[in-house]
Amino acid sequence: MGAFRRFAEATGTVTKAEREGGGQVFEAGWTKKPGWTWRSANRAAQRLLANGPDESVSAQLAEAAFTQWQAGQSAVLLALDDRRWSVRMLPAPIDGYLLVWVASSTLDVAVASALLDCLTDRVSEQVVVTDPRGRIEWINREFERGTGYTLAECVGRTPGELLQGPLTDPGAVAYMGERLRSGQGFHGVEVLNYARTGRPMWLRIAVEPVFGDDGRVQHYVGVQLDITRQRTTRSEVETLAEQFGMVKESGRLGVWSRDIGSGVGTWDDQVHRFFGYGQAEPTPDFSEVSQRIHPDDRERTVAAWQNSVESGDRGEVRFRVQAPDGSTRMLYSIWRVERDAAHRARRAFGAMIDDTASSVFTRDLGELSSRLELAADLAGMGTWRYDLASGLIYWDERIFKIFGLPAHSNGMPPELVYSYAHPDDVGGALAANATALEGNAPVDTQTRFRRVDGREILVMTRRVAQRDARGKVVGIF
């Protein structure tokens, strides 16, 4: 860059990027950046070129740092441009980066800051430099963006003072402090810290000491990477894996896959058990598996599989399996079909759930409900509900049948209901309702009613207060 600047000044050359107000930069493809030229590619570089060492010196410093690092050295002393330069190299915690610390007896603070900016302007990690006591001397722009603190706010304070919070791990803090007090660095410490706004952020931190010629620590250079997204994703994956493992351990979930072209399948132990195969037996092909599907479900299940393979869509089906021992299981299978670059079905993988227990429960519940309905009809029993909010009474079909009335779903005012009751019994029924609303115990009464055909009947009624989830009385049942 320095040689080209001297050439441009001597010849009056103006580049195309300068004429057009910006040049092309390769960032996952060529991109035009307004104002981006060889003169203005980096603000920190401009400051360095204007105020710092000659460009040739900068190049020699960088080349010396890289060469010595490849040779296994971590420091080098150079005499360039009538100055004595101390160049130290530190491994960054991010692969592909080398931190370079440059110091000179005649280098002022502004130039040193420009040098650091040049070194860290393009990295996505937060870089901080402290004195031997851990007080901040310098931070890069990514540190400002990530934490919300400016350089002026940070200078003289420690990173822990700024960033640590209520959920920061004290064990990690103690470990980092112990290493630094002994003049040692550390790598890969993950700790929960906080931005200026209070936003929690997970950081992976590495710190290295910078020693002077006397062997004492002059500075600490820290690099921290925000891994909040990775930690969150990892936590979610671990939770899902734990839940998945718990479900699998219950014996109700199995996973499977099948190559579409060859028909070769892979089952886990649970799917083998679902179909009545031993765990050591090879996974059967699809035609053999289909023979164990209940005859009434086989055609529908095979069609669901074939339609999914042809369309490439997600598939699901519920079916019964008959094992060799005569037992029957209700299974629910769901899968997805992968396709190759030519859009041909390549492989299917999915999960299978043993739904037998819930299926039996649903069946038994239906049978029980039917039996209760029959028993209620035979005993002349019915249910009613008084809704406190609307002030209406609702009957089921059996109560309408008891009174000889056509059934409907509309609520009725209490005055209409008790117009069928014997006048001498109305007071007792209303008092029982009031008692039920005030307590939790059921209240029983016997009330005489007159059917629409004129026949008098004696009805025994049991009522109890109905409450919502918060315990508030909402009616009588």
Map residue 279 onto helix, strand or coil. Answer: coil
Q: Do residues 318 and 304 lie in contact, with contact meaning Cβ atoms separated by under 8 Å?
A: no
Q: What is the pLDDT at residue 405?
A: 86
Phi first, then psi, for residue 131 (nearest 5°) are -85, 180
**Residue 101: predicted pLDDT:** 58
Torsion angles phi and psi, residue 467, rounded to 5 = -120, 155
Q: What does the alpha-carbon distance between residue 137 and residue 130 come to, in Å, rounded to a whole number?
A: 5
Q: Residue 41: its pLDDT value, please?
A: 47
pTM of the model: 0.38
Q: Where are the beta strands (DSSP E) in 295-374?
A: 315-322, 328-339, 345-354
What is the C-alpha to C-alpha distance for residues 463 and 461, in angstroms, rounded to an integer? Answer: 6
Contact 438, 453 (CB under 8 A): no
How many C-alpha atoms does 13 have within 13 Å on its Cβ side?
14
Element (H, E) at 47: helix 43-51
The CA distance from 109 to 158, in Å, is 20
Q: Which pLDDT score, from 0 to 100, does residue 176 have?
A: 94
pLDDT at 46: 47
From residue 396, alpha-carbon distances to 377, 381, 390, 413 in Å are 12, 10, 17, 15
Residue 412: strand pairing partners: 393
**Could you tell me if residue 338 is left (phi over 0), alpha (psi between -120 and 50 degrees) or otherwise beta?**
beta
- Which amino acid is residue 33, in one-letter code? K
Residues (pLDDT < 50) of the chain are 26-28, 41-53, 93-95, 105-111, 114-115, 118-119, 122
Among 288, 309, 290, 311, smallest CA distance to 301 is for 290
